[in-house]
Copies of this chain bind each other. A is one copy, B any other.
Amino acid sequence: MIIVMSHGATEKQIENVIDKVHSYGLRTHPIFGVQKTVIGIVGDDKTIVVENMRGMPGIEQIIPILQPFKFAGREAHPDDTVIEIGGVRIGGEKVVVMAGPCAVESREQLLDIAGKVRASGASVLRGGAYKPRTSPYSFQGLGEEALKYLAEARDTTGLLIITEVTDPRNVELVSGYADIMQVGARNMQNFVLLTEVGKSGHPVMLKRGPSSTMTDLLLAAEYMIIEGNSDIILCERGITTFETYTRNTLDLSAVPAIKHESHLPVLVDPSHATGKSSLVEPMSLAAIAAGSDGVIVEVHPNPEQALCDGPQSLTLEQFDVMMTKLRAIAPIVGRSL
Contact = CB atoms under 8 A, between A and B. Distances in A.
16 contacts: A2-B38, A4-B65, A35-B66, A53-B304, A55-B277, A69-B135, A169-B169, A211-B211, A213-B244, A241-B249, A243-B254, A245-B254, A253-B283, A282-B291, A286-B286, A286-B290
Given A31-B40, A166-B191, 10 more contacts: A54-B310, A133-B191, A136-B223, A136-B226, A186-B190, A210-B211, A246-B257, A250-B251, A255-B282, A257-B279
Contact of A250 (B34, B253, B308): B253
Nearest to A211: B211
A133 B252 CA distance: 27
Interface of A: 2, 4, 7, 20, 29, 31-36, 38, 40, 42-45, 48, 52-56, 63, 65-66, 68-69, 75, 132-138, 166-169, 186-187, 189-193, 209-211, 213-216, 219, 222-223, 226, 239-246, 249-257, 260, 270, 273-274, 276-279, 282-283, 285-291, 303-308, 310-311, 313, 325, 328-329, 332-333
A285 B36 contact: no
10 smallest CB-CB distances across A and B, nearest first, come from A211-B211, A54-B311, A55-B303, A286-B286, A211-B240, A289-B289, A286-B290, A285-B289, A186-B189, A55-B304
Given A257-B279, A286-B287, A311 B52 contact: yes
Given A136-B222, A169-B168, A33 B274 contact: no
Nearest to A270: B253
How many copies of this chain sit in the oligomeric assembly? 4
Chain A contact surface mostly: mixed
A42 B242 CA distance: 30
A205 B20 CA distance: 37
A85 to B, nearest CB: 25
Given A36-B65, A135-B219, A286-B286, A245 B214 contact: yes
A215 to B, nearest CB: 8
Contacts of A38: 2, 40, 65
Nearest to A52: B310
A45 to B, nearest CB: 7
Nearest to A287: B286
A256 B282 contact: yes
Given A135-B222, A243-B251, A277-B55, A34 B44 contact: yes
B252 A243 contact: no
Nearest to A138: B48
